[in-house]
Amino acid sequence: MSFLTPLAFIGALLAAPIILLYMLRLRRREVPISSNFLWQQILQDNEANTPWQRLRRNLLLILQLIILALLIFALARPFILVPAVSSGQTAVLIDASASMNATDTSGGTRFDAAKAEALDIVDTMGPGDTVTVIRVADAPEVLSPYSADQGLLRAAINGAQPSRASADWNAALTLAAAGAAGAEDFNVVIIGDGGVGDTAQLPAIPGELRFVPVGSASDNLAISALATRSLPGADPQMFAQITNYGPVDTEVIFNLRVDGELFTAENYVVPAGGDLPVVSSALPLDFQTIQAGLTLPAAADQADFLPEDNRAFAVSGTGGARSIILMTPGNLFIEQVLRSLPAVEVFRGDIQSGLLVGDFDSLYIFDRWLPNQLPADNDMLIIAPPNATPLFTVGGTISETTNPRVRREDPRMTFVDFDNVNILAFNEVTAEWADELIVADGGPLLLAGEVDGRQIAILTFDLRDSDLPLQIAWPVLMSSLLDWFAPQTVVSAPEGLSVGETLTFTPLPESESVRITLPDGATRSFNNTGRPIIFAETDQTGLYTVEVLLEGDVIDSGGFAVNLFDSGESDITPQPTFNIGQTVIGQAEAESIGQREFWPLLALLALLVLLIEWYLYQRRQRLPRAPRPAPRPGARTTTPRRRAAG
């Protein structure tokens, strides 16, 4: 054993004043007399003191000397030389990805085990060693810069928490390599379960790279997919997929909640290393959210070590079907394409009876027929308009239909292709408010735009005068237009938004602010500046609620779901090695020499002995003294010696 600060032993000289306090005591002598009236003044002026006495055995004195010895040894910082994983300048990278929440280690999660390994590296730091600690999640985070202060490093490690996202090892290793500049002895230590993704993309690391693996099992069940879909003429359906990453077939209970209420719960057996699709039909037409969950039966022998992927969420993308009112003398092509589109309810009106009035959100499709007065508040798709209206004019018939050109830069025409579409003739239609989305040599074939708060599209030719209904472009065109006609939603998030991904949305122009409620109940507020809002705080799985506010009132709301659909994280099989280029990184060996100090233990023992000494002193103060017998006449008595304080 050696000492880092041997000068602390000078503190042993403090034992001398402690011993002197026990030797310097006041001792009086009592003499019985018949009366003390005449002696009072003499006694006050002539008290005899005996400053020194023989040192006697005292338990309190022994305990105080032990406390002093322990404190002196703690200040001297004793240590022994032990094997260490690394020395010199070391970057410690702690895997904080979702798989590190697995509970297959003794005493907690894999992340707890990783922190214990990192603390051991800090505890065995030698003189001149410096360490930085980097938490590796979706974005690497430096918990502590390079430092030799073990207390600072330990506090940084103990305060770290795992994430629910995948780890960006490329960025983390690049960040660690930046600390190699000017270092003579540089090392990188990775502590994790070996799930580092595509190792071919990892950068080269200067110095020595060492790997400390954690984790021991691969048993895990996960919901690896969850989505909803609406088939023509049918209720919405739910599709889910359960994946068993473990080595044995496992029984599981799959439960589904719709808008917070239990909808179904079924038992399934998922094959080892395989997938099991689950389809639930007849979901409520107007549902808003669904939540799927996995639970092992009470008597199950198998384990499920990662609970983070046992839940999945989805938000209705349509908010229910949109109604379409079709006014036509008869067009089978339009009716067929509308029936093939999801989340659409079609109501066909009778042009002989006049305009069929629907709800405010209804989309009107007028085919070769127009009412005397157009709807004032509804969106409209007008096909081959027979006459002019206050919104547009209709001219003569044009037969120059060659070379149709689609305005592909317009998002409404992204997938529309008119190269093989043949048109016999079209009407000349003019509308100043509309964009020309498809144009032939003779003029526009499709116009679309917004006017008076309504979205209106005009197809200038009769479908029967073309082969468009026989082309794949027809359902694609109708799907694109209906997507454009769809009411503007608060937020539009893709299904399967993963943890850590960012979401961009544009608030409604008339709103003042947007409030987002996270799955844990916390809220975030954003003022409407007219610019898109970028939301990146998606580090929790669950349902997020978005509310649009105007003067403090909610004028619109929506939501989106964030899930852990990542096979790289759900497959928790620990990897003993991984590759960087042609180099195989195996388990780190304790090849360096480090120091392990014992002063925290000595300080703890000193505190314990101090508590014992305090207890004994208080106990002596509370013990009653035995009464003394009365002195005989003429006998001499002396006062009892007072105990020294402390």
Is residue 638 in a domain? no
Do residues 326 and 451 both lie within one domain?
Answer: yes
CA distance 137 to 134: 9
Which range, of 132-141, 381-390, 577-586, averages the lowest pLDDT?
577-586
For residues 117-134, give the mean pLDDT. 86
Facing residues of 393 across strands? 430
Do residues 357 and 328 both lie within one domain?
Answer: yes
Q: Residue 459: pLDDT band by 50, 70, 90 thresholds?
A: very high
Determine the pLDDT at residue 382: 96
Which tokens go with 143?
């918990």
With H, G, I as helix, E, B as strand and everything else as coil, classify residue 455.
Answer: strand
More confident residue, 627 or 477: 477
Determine the pLDDT at residue 248: 92
Which tokens go with 437?
């989305």
Is residue 472 in a domain? yes
User: Cβ of 261: how many Cβ atoms within 10 Å?
Assistant: 8
Is residue 308 in a domain? no
Determine the pLDDT at residue 23: 64
Element (H, E) at 618: helix 599-622
Averaged confidence pLDDT in the chain: 81
CA distance 532 to 509: 11
Determine the pLDDT at residue 81: 56
Contact between 118 and 109 (Cβ < 8 Å): no
Give pLDDT tens digits for 266-284: 999 999 999 999 988 778 8
Determine the pLDDT at residue 53: 57
CA distance 549 to 274: 46
Is residue 301 in a domain? no
Determine the pLDDT at residue 269: 93
- HSE at residue 298, side-chain half, CA atoms within 13 A, is 0
Is residue 367 in a domain? yes
Please report, for residues 160, 197, 210, 460, 575, the alpha-carbon distance to residue 571 in angstroms, rounded to integers and kept in the order given: 23, 12, 23, 56, 11
Do residues 174 and 28 both lie within one domain?
Answer: no
User: Cβ of 7: how many Cβ atoms within 10 Å?
Assistant: 9
Which tokens go with 16?
């001398």
Determine the pLDDT at residue 41: 54
Q: Is the pLDDT of residue 206 over 80?
A: no
DSSP state of 206: S
Determine the pLDDT at residue 612: 82
Which tokens go with 291?
């939540």
Do residues 421 and 367 both lie within one domain?
Answer: yes
User: Of the candidates 462, 485, 508, which is a domain's last residue?
Assistant: 485
- Strands 363-367 and 379-383, sheet pairing: parallel
Is residue 119 in a domain? yes
For residues 484-490, give the mean pLDDT. 68
Do residues 355 and 450 both lie within one domain?
Answer: yes
Determine the pLDDT at residue 611: 84
Which range, of 282-296, 355-369, 422-436, averages the lowest pLDDT?
355-369
Give exposure, 525-542, as e/b (b: 16+ Cβ within 10 Å). Answer: eeebeeeebebeebeebb
Please report, for residues 287, 311, 364, 446, 479, the alpha-carbon distance to residue 322 in angstroms, rounded to integers and kept in the order given: 14, 30, 11, 23, 13
For residues 451-474, give the mean pLDDT. 92
Range of the structural domain that residue 537 is part of: 497-563
Comparing CA positions, the residue from 392, 462, 455, 456 lying closest to residue 427 is 462
Determine the pLDDT at residue 619: 77
Q: Residue 403: pLDDT band by 50, 70, 90 thresholds?
A: very high
Cα four-point dihedral sign 547, 550, 552, 555:
negative
Number of domains in the chain: 4
Q: Where are the beta strands (DSSP E) in 350-442?
A: 363-367, 379-383, 393-398, 405-406, 426-430, 435-440
CA distance 349 to 321: 18
Contact between 242 and 276 (Cβ < 8 Å): yes
Residue type, 41: Q
For residues 444-466, give the mean pLDDT. 93
More confident residue, 76 or 72: 72
Which tokens go with 160?
């770290």
Residue 581: which region, alpha, beta or left (left: phi > 0; alpha: psi -120 to 50)?
left
Query: CB under 8 Å to 470, separation ≥6 — which residues?
Result: none
Determine the pLDDT at residue 411: 80
Backbone angles phi and psi of 106, in degrees to 5: -70, 130
Do residues 442 and 346 both lie within one domain?
Answer: yes
Q: Is the pLDDT of residue 180 over 80?
A: no
Do residues 457 and 520 both lie within one domain?
Answer: no
* CATH number of the domain that residue 193 is part of: 3.40.50.410
Q: Residue 441: pLDDT band by 50, 70, 90 thresholds?
A: very high
Do residues 74 and 90 both lie within one domain?
Answer: no
Is residue 292 in a domain? no
Is residue 460 in a domain? yes
Give pLDDT tens digits for 494-519: 556 788 888 877 777 778 888 999 99
CA distance 338 to 325: 11
Q: What percentage of the chain reaches a pLDDT higher than 70?
A: 77
CA distance 478 to 338: 8
Do residues 481 and 524 both lie within one domain?
Answer: no
* CATH number of the domain that residue 409 is part of: 3.40.50.880
With H, G, I as helix, E, B as strand and everything else as coil, classify residue 119.
Answer: helix
For residues 109-113, give the mean pLDDT. 93
CA distance 295 to 90: 42
Please report, for residues 265, 286, 563, the alpha-carbon distance to residue 236 in angstroms, rounded to integers and kept in the order given: 18, 9, 21
Q: Is the pLDDT of residue 265 over 60?
A: yes
Contact between 305 and 103 (Cβ < 8 Å): yes
Do residues 147 and 41 both lie within one domain?
Answer: no
With H, G, I as helix, E, B as strand and everything else as coil, classify residue 364.
Answer: strand
For residues 602-613, give the mean pLDDT. 82
CA distance 452 to 449: 10
Which tokens go with 452?
């008076």
Do residues 533 and 556 both lie within one domain?
Answer: yes
Comparing CA positions, the residue from 12, 19, 190 lying closest to residue 90 is 190
More confident residue, 462 or 68: 462
Determine the pLDDT at residue 82: 52
Which tokens go with 517?
């409620």
Give pLDDT tens digits for 20-31: 666 665 555 566
Q: Residue 439: pLDDT band by 50, 70, 90 thresholds?
A: very high
Which range, of 85-94, 457-466, 550-559, averages the lowest pLDDT?
85-94
More confident residue, 562 or 204: 562
Determine the pLDDT at residue 598: 64
Do residues 66 and 109 both lie within one domain?
Answer: no
* CATH number of the domain that residue 551 is part of: 2.60.40.1930
